[in-house]
Structure 1
Amino acid sequence: MNYLLFALPGNEALATSLAGLLQADMGEVIVRQFPDSETYVRLKTDVKDRNLLLVCSLHQPDCKLLPLYFLAKTAKELGAATICLIAPYLAYMRQDIRFQPGEGITNRYFASLLSSFADSMITIDPHLHRVHSMSELYAIPVYVLHAAPALASWISKHVKKPLLIGPDEESSQWVSVVAALAEAPYVVLSKTRLGDKQVQVKVPDLAAYQEHTPVLLDDIISTARTMIETIGHLKGKLTQPAVCVGVHGIFAGDAYEALERAGAARIVTCNTIPHPSNHINLEVLIAEAVAGNLPLNNNH
């Protein structure tokens, strides 16, 4: 199938790579703000009867959502046959229940909005808690890809005698998959979250791993407080400094600099969110899904 790709602002590098891998056309779009901050969208490529791939990673989603919505609606009005949203990072997965009286369950609302203008979506390792399948939220097919093989490959190639350390008991199943692929041992922390930027972690006995390099592994690095706290606990317990690896590097505020100051030997993320720490590229994974697996079965 001959796809037509459009890159939302900030996603140009990934979209260009995907277009090359898929031998697909790149569409031209103008997205800008009027002086009053309202969004202007103009499609300069004919989309009639075309199958569109809109590339837009949804970190800092509030400022991205309206341009994405306007682009998709414009494309449909101009005759686009289908729209698949490629959102390597998918936001609004945290608030999946009403924790306090009066709270909005925003993951449902966000899913409803995306489902209203896209025909399908591809994402990578969404952060599921009490929701077990994307089909519980989304009215469109959501194809979930997994970064574990790419993480394991990078760790195997770049870290000597790695010991994988997961952030909490909830991560055990995911971390164990990466560890098995990397043929490395793993442990998980006991974590208590005390607030948005404060966590308390307990590190298991590491006496058997003195010659190993600790690899702190997480799906999302946001405030980096868990990794920073863990690095502090590892000092004096393991001789090698920690390598920090994440799928999605949000790095809210000064999180990246704080993690460096804490003593991380290296900080590495996948290119789901553009950042200087991107050293694990997933465009081949996405392109293979598009080229060989659409339509797919909805993954959990």
Structure 2
Amino acid sequence: MTSVALYSFAHGAAGAAELGLALGLDVRQIDIHTFPDGESLVRVPSVTETAIVYCPLDRPNEKLVALMLAADAFRRGGARRLVLVAPYLCYMRQDKAFHAGEAVSQQAVSRFLSACFDRVVTVDAHLHRVSSIGEVFPEIEADNLLAAKAIAHFAAAQGHGRETIVLGPDEESIQWVCQLADELGASYMVGHKIRRGDRDVEIEFPDDPEVAGNPVLVVDDIVSSGGTILSAVAAMRKRGAASIHVAITHALFDKAVEEKILSAGAKAVWSTTSVPHGTNAISLAGILADILRRELNE
């Protein structure tokens, strides 16, 4: 049987520890020493034939270089198979050149990671103009897991169910909204986003008299500036929702944005553990472990 170990950088230690517990693997830490000139020296501990590397790719620029160096160290140490677990996968939103001279970041990063790893596992990758994660990584194995079941399980434990209205802020959220509503046995509604700038967003919602007096669960895959969620929460409060909770897969916002969402009328903001964040409440360890178990048996 192939030897397997789970590795993590310090910034992903908490999520890696949860995943290690679910898989029955100890976590080995990858060390990074930063020199005064900004260069890095990466050291990996004892190398196994299959190395599973856990690394959320929020604030990605320095992390990508560290991953490249770690992959080199693993290969030199004798690893035959490298698996990247990046619950949040960066640069997926730039999937085309919107203006002359722009890079298509999604393709550039996918080529970079494909040169380093044999498999990439992520959660709720932001795929807009491509239909599957296989199109992003055509040369290696890739898995894009859905967080809906984990979110639904947590939301149900907080009292959400058939009376809940699951709200997606725009048409892009329909895939998450439908699955989450199905898991909860709830109805759903999707808005139409009008974006005038990075922080200037207006959302139109269809008239739905069921909102008044019922709980609403606002869901989105990525929240950074918070404009979309703020508009959605404010609209549901105006329509008389009994309560409003916000569930997010990837929390990329700061404390000030969270406070604005709460001030707008949300009772709580919950995020998955895809990115270390103060709102983390929904563990992804279970769904990640399920897809990774075959690595332990090969």
Residue pair 1:169, 1:188 contacting (<8 A) in 2 also = yes
Rounded to whole Å, the distance in 1 between the matches of 2:132 and 2:244 is: 33
Rounded to whole Å, the distance in 2 between the matches of 1:243 and 1:30 is: 38
Query: Alpha carbons of 1:173 and 1:24: their partners in 2 closer, same or farther (altered >3 Å)?
Result: closer
Partner of 1:17: 18
Alignment partner of 2:225 out of 223, 226, 240: 223
Secondary structure in 2 matching 1:242: strand
Q: Deviations over 1:32-86 (max 9, x none)?
A: 211222112122x221x52101100101111211111111111111211211000
Partner of 1:8: 9
Per the TM alignment, residue 236 of structure 1 is displaced from its structure 2 partner at its CA by 3.1
Q: Deviations over 1:216-237 (max 9, x none)?
A: 1111111111111122222331
**5 Å matches for 1:70-219?**
70-138=69-137, 139-160=139-160, 161-219=163-221
Partner of 1:42: 43
Partner of 2:273: 271
* Unaligned segments of structure 2, at least 5 residues: none
TM-score (structure 2 length as normaliser) = 0.92
Give the letter for the 1:198 counterpart. Answer: D
Residue pair 1:59, 1:91 contacting (<8 A) in 2 also = yes
Rounded to whole Å, the distance in 2 between the matches of 1:7 and 1:143 is: 19
Partner of 2:58: 59
Per the TM alignment, residue 172 of structure 1 is displaced from its structure 2 partner at its CA by 2.0
Residue pair 1:271, 1:280 contacting (<8 A) in 2 also = yes
Query: Alpha carbons of 1:153 and 1:11: their partners in 2 closer, same or farther (altered >3 Å)?
Result: same
Per the TM alignment, residue 252 of structure 1 is displaced from its structure 2 partner at its CA by 5.1
Partner of 1:27: 28
TM-score (structure 1 length as normaliser) = 0.92
Secondary structure in 2 matching 1:122: strand
Partner of 2:242: 240
Rounded to whole Å, the distance in 1 between the matches of 2:75 and 2:236 is: 53
Rounded to whole Å, the distance in 1 between the matches of 2:297 and 2:65 is: 27
Sequence identity percentage: 31
Secondary structure in 2 matching 1:142: strand
Give the letter for the 1:157 counterpart. Answer: A
Per the TM alignment, residue 25 of structure 1 is displaced from its structure 2 partner at its CA by 3.7
Per the TM alignment, residue 240 of structure 1 is displaced from its structure 2 partner at its CA by 2.2
Give the letter for the 2:238 counterpart. Answer: G
Rounded to whole Å, the distance in 2 between the matches of 1:19 and 1:100 is: 43
Q: CA RMSD in A?
A: 1.9
- Which runs of structure 1 show a deviation greater than 6 angstroms over 4 or more consecutive aligned residues? 293-296
Per the TM alignment, residue 239 of structure 1 is displaced from its structure 2 partner at its CA by 4.0
Residue pair 1:159, 1:213 contacting (<8 A) in 2 also = no
Residue pair 1:155, 1:162 contacting (<8 A) in 2 also = no
Query: Alpha carbons of 1:69 and 1:293: their partners in 2 closer, same or farther (altered >3 Å)?
Result: closer
* Unaligned segments of structure 1, at least 5 residues: none
Query: Alpha carbons of 1:218 and 1:295: their partners in 2 closer, same or farther (altered >3 Å)?
Result: farther
Per the TM alignment, residue 175 of structure 1 is displaced from its structure 2 partner at its CA by 0.7
